[in-house]
Structure 1
């Protein structure tokens, strides 16, 4: 029996499956994400990591199984889940534009998420400080290093507070040392009660305190 003082998990998934006309994308995904946890979705390219992140935030159609996010049935009510989750970066689908300054990215994200204009800058700066991002707001997103792009994307994703944030490809063009620093930054953010799920193909940089969802078998497309 669960201790009364133990908070309910932010996410519970049972036997999640996604199949398209091209084949099975992922199957049998079962996991439980505690509040204030950092989770790595690991596996090679083609195992469905990006699609799983979209599914876990109510942004992927055709998913079967059971999925609860912050007490909401994500398969029956995906719109509710989209409103309470935040996507920092997903493949080429969700990412700040290279040609925009960070200040412009903040404005764009505020509008896209219907976030509070009053608190947007404070929320962004708080997270960017936790993650170690120290660049002028006039800097273009495309001019940031790959590691700082991760930090900026996560910071933008917290402009509207959310209990769950997802990030694709934390290892994109980053060294294992940089990845280690990024994971540690996510752990600092999770200390404030936020859960973060990030995908990677590089397991060696993941700290022991980070939980894991293994996706090892590529499926036919």
Structure 2
């Protein structure tokens, strides 16, 4: 097993088939603890499903994968305990009616009740409260979110946050649990070029701190380990079984029957419902 912080992630010929065909296939890559991994591809190419599979939330159909030395899907529950989700549509979204402070307070409460050790639960209430506050402050600093700079500070509603601020809040909430793996969906969605650079700078900082980062995007930065989920990204014919080697991996949908290829977000959602969360 690895050291306590940072989870290595490996996949070999990984594939997932939904009710309408292959969501993704032939994913092969290896990421060291503390790596920044960019899952790149067009919308509907299976990016989110791959992210959920690698974090123990969905079952794959073929291939082998390990996260943090834990085999999936057999040890999916253990993987979920060390892997935290940032923003993922339909899975871990922010509540627009909640304020920033309410989100942070709720997450700290849940972490203290369900994520703490028995020994820490036996500490005096004041000590537990101080520890929770320190954990939240540390997560906010790591996410680069200055609550005092928000329009209404902690009373700012999520619906009033800018896209980049919401991303920072989601990352901070995930980091409260001190995960070994952070997974973020739609990293560069609706961001300007300047905001995109800030988002990747945030994720680089998290990875530099030792936490492995998996980030779904439409365009990966040059310094990330890139895993592509669209057939056009690879230098091989779609449907072939031999995956590429090196830092960049590709996942090619099966194309022996064009009518079964997953091409839309709705079809990906169908695959999510079919395979289920484990």
RCO (CA 8 Å, sep 6+): is it higher in 1 or 2? 2
1:167 maps onto 2:184 in alignment: yes
Q: Which residue of the partner structure matches residue 142 of structure 1?
A: 159
Distance 1:120 1:214, change over 3 A: farther
When Rg is computed on C-alpha atoms for both structures, the one with the higher figure is: 2
Query: Using the alignment, how far apart are the partners of 1:170 and 1:81 within structure 2?
Result: 22
1:213 maps onto 2:227 in alignment: yes
1:53 maps onto 2:54 in alignment: no
Q: Which residue of the partner structure matches residue 19 of structure 1?
A: 17
1:115 maps onto 2:115 in alignment: yes
Taking structure 2 as the reference length, what is the TM-score of the superposition? 0.71
Query: Using the alignment, how far apart are the partners of 1:145 and 1:196 within structure 2?
Result: 22
Query: Using the alignment, how far apart are the partners of 2:200 and 2:226 within structure 1?
Result: 13
1:130 maps onto 2:172 in alignment: no
Taking structure 1 as the reference length, what is the TM-score of the superposition? 0.87
Runs of at least 5 residues in structure 1 that lack an aligned partner in the other structure: 1-6
130-139 or 118-127, which moves further after superposition? 118-127
Query: Using the alignment, how far apart are the partners of 2:133 and 2:186 within structure 1?
Result: 26
Larger relative helix fraction: 2
Name the count of aligned residue pairs: 212
Query: Using the alignment, how far apart are the partners of 1:112 and 1:23 within structure 2?
Result: 38
Query: Using the alignment, how far apart are the partners of 2:142 and 2:206 within structure 1?
Result: 7
Runs of at least 5 residues in structure 2 that lack an aligned partner in the other structure: 117-127, 148-152, 232-251, 254-260, 263-278
8-17 or 56-65, which moves further after superposition? 8-17
29-38 or 128-137, which moves further after superposition? 128-137
Q: Which residue of the partner structure matches residue 70 of structure 1?
A: 68
